[in-house]
Each structure stands twice: as structure tokens, then as C-alpha cells.
């Protein structure tokens, strides 16, 4: 069942109802089309990634920052209610991983299903796309930890089609504040899934133990690092006195179902999300929203 269907059930609750009014502004064209160039497409084919600097519109950056504040505040309320200072791998005031809550933050859908994301999907996975996952990765000042070299596909643990990760810089990114690094296919010499080993202390999975430093994304806020789920990437410490926020969305060319749940009709239980976004290159999320609003 898709997210939209879930919402039609009313199962997403009040938060969704509160945002339905804002849907009418959804069609305003806030993103800047045609930012993905043939050079980006070519680099993705050859090396598995590309970087598009300052690709996100100022209005969408504003939405993403507000949404991040909103979701961190909601997590603090949840921690207070439970009387704890951490939930899963999020630690109050240190680092936050806030996943699969794009629909609970005001207007964040406008970025997640924007013309810009449609362009990125068409340039990478093609004309059919589903939102598979979304996550804020926030490293607080002088606190955030590193991430080991991994392929995103290395976290799934079962066969699936390659998907695309869009890592968006919500703040300016530097070596000092713990930006992300990607390892081009030609540097690592591999473009298939490898076995990952879990670090017992951090819980991170690691799949590359060599000396290649990778390409650091030293980019202004609003830039995108787009890479295949088979590309190794990592990130560093935030040693600055300011918070470092990234927002990650992942799009798959078909729904990714949990192993063992697929019925004779080919449909199963989504591993994370399976929200229809593009069909034959057209934005079907917009169409579904228009139907709901009217």
C-alpha cells in the first residue's frame, strides 16, 4: 500500500490533515528546471555520481530548514514524553537521523516531489520512480560522528534493483563540518554490491577499507550530491561550532518489497516507502495530490 493510500485511510493522522490546506500551493513552480546537464548524466553513467551546485531554489532551502527544525522539535517532544535522551541512533543535542517523516513536516513534499527531483530521477534511474526513503542527517556543533564507507544498497541485505540517493546540502558544506565524500567507480574499481561488515561500536556498516580519500562535497547550501546506491560514500566529523544539516531522499525504479512478502500479484510489503513519483516520466504524485485536493 502506498503512502497516499495510507493517507486516504486516515491512518497518517492529524498531521496530514493539517497540511492538506497547504496542498493548493503545491503546483507553484518553485524549483529551477533544467539544472541537470548532459555532463551530469554522463558522469553518473561512468562514475556513479554527480554534484550539482546550488541547484535547489532559495524557497525550497527555506522549506527544508523549517522542516528540519519542526522534525527536531517533534523528536524532542517524543524524547520528553518517553523520558529519554535518545531514540534509535538520534541523540538529543548531538546528532539526529530523522527518517520517513517527509509528510509530517510543513511543505517538505514540495521539494521531495519537485521538478528538480523529477529531473534527477529521469537522468539517473529513468522514467519510473518511487520515493523509497527520506532522512535528515544532522550533526550538531562539535558533536556529530563520522559515517564509514558504505554503499546504501549494503544496508538492505537482500537483492534489489539499484536506486539513486540525492544528498542535499541544507547548510554550506566543508571538510570541517563533516561533509560527505563519494568514491567514483573508477577509483574503487568496483560497481557491484560488496559484503559489508558492521562496526560493533558505531553500528555502521563498512564495505571499503582501502586508502582512497574520495571526492569531498565542498559545496554551498542548496547543492546536490547524487549517487547510485552502489557508490561508496562516507562523511566526517563536525568540528565547527554550527549545526550541519543534510537531507537525503532516495528514489527507486520499482517498489522495493521486504523479502518473503511478495504475493502472486507481484506486490509485497514495502521495505521502507514506495510512493509513486514518476510514471512514463510524468509526475504522478502531483496528479494524485490534485485529485485529493479537488
Ligand X SMILES: O=C(O)CCC(=O)C(=O)O
Q: Which residues bind ligand X (CB under 6 A)?
A: 135, 137, 147, 152, 180, 233, 235, 246, 248
CB of 133 to ligand X, least distance (A): 9
CB of 73 to ligand X, least distance (A): 20
CB of 32 to ligand X, least distance (A): 23
The smaller minimum CB distance to ligand X, of residues 67 and 246, is found at: 246
CB of 20 to ligand X, least distance (A): 30
The smaller minimum CB distance to ligand X, of residues 154 and 270, is found at: 154
Burial 248-282 (b: 16+ CB within 10 A, else e): bbbbbbebbbeeeeeeeeeebebbbbbbbbbeeee
d(CA 293, CA 288): 9
The smaller minimum CB distance to ligand X, of residues 128 and 151, is found at: 151
59 CB-side CA count, 13 A: 13
Distances (CA, A) of 43 to 48, 129, 163, 184, 228: 7, 20, 16, 9, 11
The smaller minimum CB distance to ligand X, of residues 27 and 158, is found at: 158
The smaller minimum CB distance to ligand X, of residues 19 and 149, is found at: 149
CB of 261 to ligand X, least distance (A): 24
Residue number closest to ligand X, CB atom: 235
d(CA 191, CA 266): 28
Note the residue count of the chain.
294
The Cα angle at residue 218 between residues 213 and 219, in degrees rounded to 5 = 150
Amino acid at each position: 500500500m502506498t503512502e497516499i493510500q495510507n493517507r486516504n485511510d486516515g491512518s497518517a493522522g492529524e498531521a496530514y490533515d493539517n497540511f492538506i490546506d497547504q496542498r493548493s500551493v503545491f503546483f507553484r513552480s518553485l524549483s529551477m528546471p533544467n539544472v541537470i546537464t548532459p555532463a551530469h548524466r554522463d558522469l553518473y553513467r561512468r562514475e556513479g555520481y554527480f554534484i550539482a551546485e546550488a541547484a535547489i531554489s532559495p524557497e525550497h532551502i527555506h522549506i527544508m530548514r523549517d522542516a528540519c527544525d519542526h522534525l527536531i522539535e517533534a523528536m524532542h517532544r517524543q524524547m520528553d514524553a518517553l523520558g529519554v535522551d535518545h531514540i534509535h541512533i538520534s541523540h538529543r543535542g548531538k546528532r539526529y537521523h530523522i527518517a520517513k517523516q517527509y509528510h509530517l513536516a510543513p511543505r517538505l513534499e514540495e521539494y521531495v516531489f519537485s521538478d528538480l527531483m523529477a529531473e534527477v530521477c529521469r537522468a539517473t534511474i529513468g522514467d519510473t520512480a518511487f520515493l523509497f526513503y527520506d532522512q535528515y542527517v544532522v550533526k550538531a556543533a562539535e558533536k556529530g560522528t563520522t559515517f564509514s564507507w558504505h554503499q546504501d544498497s549494503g544496508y538492505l541485505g537482500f537483492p534489489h534493483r539499484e536506486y539513486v540517493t540525492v544528498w542535499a546540502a541544507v547548510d554550506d558544506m566543508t571538510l570541517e563540518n563533516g561533509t560527505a565524500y563519494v568514491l567514483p567507480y573508477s577509483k574503487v574499481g568496483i560497481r557491484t554490491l560488496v559484503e559489508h561488515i558492521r562496526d560493533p561500536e558505531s553500528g555502521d556498516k563498512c564495505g571499503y577499507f582501502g586508502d582512497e580519500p574520495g571526492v569531498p562535497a565542498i559545496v554551498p547550501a542548496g547543492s546536490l550530491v547524487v549517487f547510485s546506491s552502489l557508490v561508496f560514500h562516507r562523511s566526517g566529523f563536525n568540528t565547527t561550532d554550527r549545526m550541519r544539516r543534510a537531507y537525503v531522499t532516495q528514489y527507486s525504479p520499482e517498489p522495493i518489497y521486504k523479502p518473503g512478502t511478495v504475493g502472486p500479484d507481484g506486490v509485497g510489503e514495502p521495505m521502507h516507502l514506495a510512493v509513486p513519483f514518476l510514471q512514463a516520466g510524468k509526475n504522478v504524485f502531483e496528479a494524485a495530490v490534485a485529485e485529493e485536493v479537488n
